[in-house]
Amino acid sequence: MHHPTAVIEPGAELGENVEVGPFSYIEGGVRIGDGCRLGPRVTILKGSSIGANCTIHAGAVIGDVPQDLAFDGAESSVEVGERCIIREGVTIHRGTKPGTITRVGDECFLMAYCHVAHNCLLGDNVIIANNTVFGGYVEIGARAFISGLVAIHQFVRVGRLAMVAGGSVATKDVPPFCTTRNCAMNTVVGINVVGMRRAGLGGEQRKLVRSAIKALYRSDMNVSQAVEHMRQSFSDEFAMEICDFIDNSDRGICTMAGLSSSRSGGE
């Protein structure tokens, strides 16, 4: 069902049982999956693909050109997975370079006035609270929880099942399973026990994560030495996930509260 004031341009592909609210605009070349519901004044621009059974609330804009001076008008895209909830005023920009993509995984929840910049990659089941902004090329692991009023610098990575606390800033990578400190910069304070429980990780699995994080942060080794020690001393999948995450970090990782900032990675 489409409201009579909605504008759906020729070439847009809408699946079955799609609802489009008043004054919404869908540009040609957009693809929207079955069962999606678009509220009033939603704008979805060319190059955007929306998976089935998504709900997009008033004023959201998906697929606009990136806020990047390097953008030259090249064809790029936005891909939103299935069963996502996108609340009021959310903006998701398409990639900068030709053929590149900004991707939001399945079952993500983006609360009001979030901004997902060009070339960001969000895993499945990511939650982003109100008024949070991502710079370009940010990567968010599956089931990460990003609280409200958070700013994440371009190219930063947040690991799986991490929790970024409200009002904090990340200019370095946040390792998997960690939680950051409220209103602080590049500081973790422990592991995300609540998130791991919700994801079905049992007590023994959480114990393995805790041991790996302790080895990483609570020792007299620098990050490179700690990773080498973990690879030699641990064999579980969680320790290896943390090691792999750090090995792929270009910006270094957040430090632990109470430790020297020299532990933040790269050495």
What is the residue extent of each domain of the chain?
7-137, 197-264
pLDDT tens digits, residue range 45-101? 999 999 999 999 999 999 999 999 999 999 999 999 999 999 999 999 999 999 999
Which is nearest to 36 in space by CA: 2, 63, 5? 2
| Max Cα-Cα span within the chain | 67
| Owner of token pair 């090691």 | 243
HEC string of 220-265 equals CCCHHHHHHHHHHHCCCHHHHHHHHHHHCCCCCECEECCCCHHHHC
The mean pLDDT of 248-253, rounded to a whole number, is 95
Asked whether the predicted pLDDT for residue 126 surpasses 50, the reply is yes
Asked whether the predicted pLDDT for residue 263 surpasses 60, the reply is no
pLDDT value for 218? 79
pLDDT tens digits, residue range 154-169? 999 999 999 999 999 9
Residues 6+ apart with CB under 8 A from 29: 11, 12, 46, 47
Percentage with pLDDT > 70 across the chain: 97
Q: Is the dihedral of CA 200, 165, 139, 113 positive or negative?
A: positive
At residue 104, φ and ψ (nearest 5 deg) are -115, 125
pLDDT tens digits, residue range 167-218? 999 999 999 999 999 999 999 999 999 999 999 999 999 999 999 999 999 7
What pTM does this model have? 0.93
Mean pLDDT is lowest, of 19-28, 90-99, 215-224, for: 215-224
Per-residue buried b or exposed e for 67-76, using 16+ beta carbons within 10 Å of the residue's own CB = ebeebeeeeb
CATH of domain 197-264: 1.20.1180.10
Asked whether the predicted pLDDT for residue 232 surpasses 80, the reply is yes
pLDDT value for 257? 85
pLDDT value for 142? 98
- What single letter denotes the amino acid at residue 223? V
At residue 262, φ and ψ (nearest 5 deg) are -65, -15
Residues 6+ apart with CB under 8 A from 67: 93, 117, 118
pLDDT value for 262? 44
Asked whether the predicted pLDDT for residue 133 surpasses 80, the reply is yes
Return the SS3 of 148. Answer: coil
Confidence of residue 261 (pLDDT cuts 50, 70, 90): very low
CB burial class (10 A; 0-12, 13-18, 19+) of residue 16?
A: exposed
- The mean of the pLDDT values for the chain is 95
pLDDT value for 259? 60
pLDDT value for 264? 47
Cβ contact 45:64 at 8 Å: yes
The mean pLDDT of 219-247, rounded to a whole number, is 94
Per-residue buried b or exposed e for 32-41, using 16+ beta carbons within 10 Å of the residue's own CB = bbebbbbbbb
pLDDT value for 115? 98
Pick the CATH number of 7-137 from 1.10.760.10, 2.160.10.10, 3.40.50.2000, 3.30.1490.20: 2.160.10.10
